[in-house]
Amino acid sequence: MENNSTNKNILVVLAHPDDESYGMGGTLAKFADLGAQIVLICATRGEAGIQGIEPERAGQIRERELKQAAENLNIRLFFLDYLDGTLSQLETKIFAQQLSIWIATVEPGLIITFGPDGVSGHPDHIAVSKAVNWAVEHYFPNINLLYLAASEATKLGCGVTETIHHSRHLISVDISDFKLAKVKAIQSHKSQNKELTGIPESELEKIACFENFSIANMSEGQKETLKWFKEKAK
């Protein structure tokens, strides 16, 4: 199934520090371990995310937290310089063109972002999803696009994802061996993490065994990458 020419570059485009760890930390750690070169583009520094702390200072804190999480997950990280909460004010095309430069640079076989609903409905997430879609549709139709598909199963824990396995457009990534990396990444976000406060090894049971992604487009151009991702997801 796997061959050496398979493009294992994965580009992840998200809005805030911590989106990566909670939503897909296990998957990123797993695929980095499998030899994928993973680049995370985080559009903001999460400046609005610490109550009582002014935005600039909060952004500095959260930038540091995300750098530590990225180290835990073994991925590369770049920030865009947008302000938290402002992405929906951007013109989609302009945002998409900026992202296109990153896509052209990273040359991913696979891009992962939020679905059109933004997963949580956050306007920044929705804006990112729109811009990535625009870029892929107009400039990179040969690249496969995956949406983070958060589900009840993600929250409920191991053994409850069976009911959603039926869709062929859904990929469930088994992260049981990468829960520790996920917990450590989440714990890097000290300003956000309220639930996993024990030593990492004691928190593994709170982490679901699967993270889910839906296939947003079927592209022939990089189908080997998608095949590889699906195969290794098991």
Position of minimal CB gap to Zn ion: 16
Please, which residue, 15 or 209, has the CB nearer to Zn ion? 15
Please, which residue, 22 or 140, has the CB nearer to Zn ion? 22
CB of 20 to Zn ion, least distance (A): 9
Please, which residue, 19 or 47, has the CB nearer to Zn ion? 19
Q: Three-state secondary structure along the chain?
A: CCCCCCCCEEEEEECCCCHHHHHHHHHHHHHHHCCCEEEEEEEECCCCCCCCCCHHHHHHHHHHHHHHHHHHHCCEEEEEEECCCCHHHCCHHHHHHHHHHHHHHHCCCEEEEECCCHHHHCHHHHHHHHHHHHHHHHCCCCCEEEEECCCHHHHHCCCCCHHHCCCCCEEEEECHHHHHHHHHHHHHCCCCCCCCCCCHHHHHHHCCCEEEEEECCCCCCCHHHHHHHHHHHC
Please, which residue, 19 or 211, has the CB nearer to Zn ion? 19
Please, which residue, 113 or 133, has the CB nearer to Zn ion? 113
Binding site for Zn ion (CB under 5 A): 15-16, 19
